[in-house]
Each structure stands twice: as C-alpha cells, then as structure tokens.
Structure 1
Amino acid sequence: MPTSQNPHDFILFDLDGTLSDPLEGIGNCLNYALAHFGYPTKPLAELARYIGPPLDQSFIAETGSSDSAHIHALVAKYRERYGDVGYAENMLYPEIPAALAALQAAGIPMAVCTSKRGDFAEMIVQRFGLSDFFRFVNGAEIGTHKWQQIAALREQGIVTERSAMVGDRGVDLIAANRNGLTGVGVLWGYGSRAELAAEQPRHIFETPAQLPQLADREHLHA
C-alpha cells in the first residue's frame, strides 16, 4: 500500500512509446489499412508521429478524410492485422521491468492508461510479463480522449491530485494537466523534448532508470 512517504498515491503509465516500442506493429498495420483503401504506404519512420494519439485522429491526419464511416473502416482494417500479428511486433524497453519493480517495492500502485483498445493493451502487457505490476489496464474506444479516461478514473476515486501520469507524448501530459495530476514526460519514446516541455511536466526523464525517482520525496519538487 502507498505510504505517507511516497510523493504519489498512484502512477498511470502510457503504453506505446513509454513501456514498449511499437513502431513496427503500428506502422505495418497503418500501411495495411492504407493500402487496402488505395492510399500510398509510407516508410515506418514517417509513421512514427502517429504513435500516441488516438487511432482515428491518425487516419484523419494521414488521409485528409472527414468521413467518419470511412475513418471507422480504416480503423477496423488496421485492427484486423493488429489483433493477429501487429500487437506482437513490439519491443519492451529493456530497463522498464527493473524500474517498475522498484516502484512496486516502494508500495505505489500502478496501472496502464492508453489510447489503445483495452484488449490489445492487455495482450501486450501479458506478452511482456508485466501484468503483476499493474492494478488494471485502461484502454479506449474510438472517440475517447485520454483526458476523458483519466477524468473517469478521478470520478471513481482511483486516482487523485497526488497521482502521476507518465508518457512520451504531449497528449499524455495534457491529460494529466486537465485532471490535476502530476505530468511526467519521457524521452525514450516518440515525443520530442520541446513537445513535452510545452506542457510543463513536473519531470522529463531521459532513461527508464530515472522512473524510480517518482517514489523519492527528494525529487517531488525537482
């Protein structure tokens, strides 16, 4: 259980770009859907900007379409491949298990909060053997923003103003700020330092080995 010595009573972690590197799977599935509907495919490096934001917003940006039925069809085609092989085209950042173990040992409850559909997120967490670190995995359906996910967790009393949200993209920090949580940006994912700094997070960490600082009161106001 968390103690009064812990600066945070709960820590939420983004998944893609924070716990694992999903570029291969996400990029391949984006191209699979784009090709099916006659759009040109892109090199994976050009699709990296779509790691983090909700999937429907990524297809809107890539295709320029505002037709909701078409966007939903693209999402469905993406998920066709993602649920089969795409979720497994994913690499765990090597230092993450040790960082999570340190936070768990400090007695801070943790969970995953991702824009990815919940069942896919569960499959990835289980694949990497991380399930025991997390109380739950909170995923989203199309049209739900991460700030809304955290707002629901606040309404349920699961997270409070003493909780933290850890993520690699500005959308994670925006969600934290809108709900009064401590924002923690990480640089090993897909957001730049400038993108993260623009949202004024409490911390910006360069390596996963710094994450255990979230259990250290000395770093609370760093």
Structure 2
Amino acid sequence: MKQHYDFLLFDLDGTISDPIEGIGRSINYALEHYGYAPLLRDAQSPWIGPPLFHSFRAYTGRDDEAHLHELVAKYRERYADVGYAENTIYPGIAEALQALADTGVPMAVCTSKRADFAQRILELFGIARHFSFVDGGDIHIEKWEQMAKLRERGIVTEHALMIGDREFDMLAAHRNGLSAAGVLWGYGSREELAAHAPAHLLAATAELHALVPLCEGSRS
C-alpha cells in the first residue's frame, strides 16, 4: 500500500530555488571584511544547506562564538540588501507547486534560512501563496529541532513528507518520524541522499508531479 501524505514540507535553498549567487557573494563579503580569503565558486556548494554558523566555524577554524556571530551578521548585512534577490527559481517548480496545491494538501517551507529572508524569496517568485507558513532557522538551531517543534505543536504528523536536496533534510525528517523525498537538482549528490533511504528520489522538477496522487484529498 502506497504512503499518502497529509502535509508537504519543502526545503528552500537547492530545492525551490538556486541560491548560489546570493549566498556565495554574501559569504565572501563577510569573509573578506574580516581578512579571510574568499571562497572560490567550486568551494561554495557545501555551504548550501547547513547552518551558516557551523560553516563559518569550519572554514575559519575559530571557536570564538562572538567572532562567528560577527561573520554571520556581516553575511546577513549583504544578504538582506541584495543577496536574497540573487536567487533563481528552478524551472518547473512554479508549475509543480501549483499542481500540488491543487490537491488541497497544505504545504509549508522548513528552511535553515531566517524566516523573513525565506518569505521575501517566495514573494519574489510569486509562490508565497502556496505555503501555509515559513519555518525558519537561526544560529544554533538545527533543522531536526525545527521539525521537532512542528511535531510537538501538532502542526505536522508522521504522515507529512519532507522534500529537500541535502542529507540534513533526510535526517531531520527521519528523526521526527516523517517520510522524506530527496531532489537531485540541488546541492546534494545521489549518493548523499540515497544513503538515507528517502521514500522518493526525484531527478527533475517535473517528477514532483508524481507526488500529486499521493496527497490525501487529491483532486487529480
């Protein structure tokens, strides 16, 4: 018997939109401000997904929390100004979201990004109307903890599906008893995602349409 879903949770970066330009430039804005070497483009991809605090700590080798907070704040300075608008929505996402919304199953965004930044990106692409809410992260908050709070509050149940492009999305879902769908157009490799046994592994945005008949109350 196929699993049916009563709620869809979407990651944002690498799942709905490609954030590499805005994130990469904002990372380098912060790094260079504090005298660090900028990241080359090929080295920026691993920063998409994990909380920024952890990535800055790994890159700088510093455990000074005050300094790491400064780096995050400097990053957000540029990101809030122009970086968020340097996102590009993946082709086919708007159409897939409309098809899923038409089933009547509620959808929301669960992202490590700050909620106000995420909301601005959704509005930029004209897709904010599809989501009941945006659950955003912050320093020292892991995605599994965000999802745990949604479970504790009864907002999502074990019948929800988490859709994301990195292992952090798969792990967060499974830790909270949810199913997960891995997407391969983002920043996680097939090997990274398959290692966590997602219920679905989607190679192209058009494959999101395959979830339509699995949504409870589907009108398709």
Q: Distance in 2 between matches of 1:70 and 1:213?
A: 46
Q: Give 2:74's aligned amino acid.
A: K
User: What residue in structure 2 maps to residue 172 of structure 1?
Assistant: 169
Provide structure 1 residue ranges, at least 5 long, that are not aligned to the other structure: none
Q: Distance in 2 between matches of 1:19 and 1:105?
A: 18
Q: Distance in 2 between matches of 1:95 and 1:58?
A: 30
Tell me by how many angstroms 1:45 deviates. 2.1
1:100 equivalent in alignment to 2:97 = yes
Q: Helix, strand or coil for the counterpart of 1:216?
A: helix
CA offset digits 1:79-111 (Å, max 9, x no partner): 000000000111000100110011111111100
User: What residue in structure 2 maps to residue 182 of structure 1?
Assistant: 179
User: What residue in structure 1 maps to residue 32 of structure 2?
Assistant: 35
User: What residue in structure 2 maps to residue 26 of structure 1?
Assistant: 23
User: What residue in structure 1 maps to residue 197 of structure 2?
Assistant: 200
Provide structure 2 residue ranges, at least 5 long, that are not aligned to the other structure: 216-220
User: What residue in structure 2 maps to residue 145 of structure 1?
Assistant: 142
User: What residue in structure 2 maps to residue 191 of structure 1?
Assistant: 188
Tell me by how many angstroms 1:203 deviates. 0.7
Tell me by how many angstroms 1:6 deviates. 8.3
Q: Give 1:183's aligned amino acid.
A: A
Q: Distance in 1 between matches of 2:120 and 2:210?
A: 28
Q: Do the aligned residues in 2 keep the contact of 1:6 with 1:215 (CA within 8 Å)? A: no
Structure-to-structure mapping, 1:78-157, within 5 angstroms: 78-157=75-154
Q: Distance in 1 between matches of 2:62 and 2:170?
A: 27
Q: Helix, strand or coil for the counterpart of 2:36?
A: coil
Q: TM-score, normalised by structure 1?
A: 0.94
> Could you tell me the percent identity over the aligned residues?
57
Q: Helix, strand or coil for the counterpart of 1:199?
A: coil
Aligned residue pair count:
214
Q: Do the aligned residues in 2 keep the contact of 1:8 with 1:215 (CA within 8 Å)? A: no
Tell me by how many angstroms 1:66 deviates. 1.1
Q: Distance in 2 between matches of 1:172 and 1:54?
A: 12
User: What residue in structure 1 maps to residue 51 of structure 2?
Assistant: 54
Q: Give 2:175's aligned amino acid.
A: R
Q: Give 1:215's aligned amino acid.
A: V
CA offset digits 1:135-178 (Å, max 9, x no partner): 01110111100000010001111111100000000000000000
Q: Distance in 2 between matches of 1:100 and 1:141?
A: 26
Q: Give 1:99's aligned amino acid.
A: A
Q: Distance in 2 between matches of 1:217 and 1:120?
A: 30
Tell me by how many angstroms 1:212 deviates. 2.1
Q: Helix, strand or coil for the counterpart of 1:88?
A: helix
User: What residue in structure 2 maps to residue 159 of structure 1?
Assistant: 156
Q: TM-score, normalised by structure 2?
A: 0.95
Q: Helix, strand or coil for the counterpart of 1:66?
A: coil
CA RMSD of aligned residues (A): 1.4
1:10 equivalent in alignment to 2:7 = yes
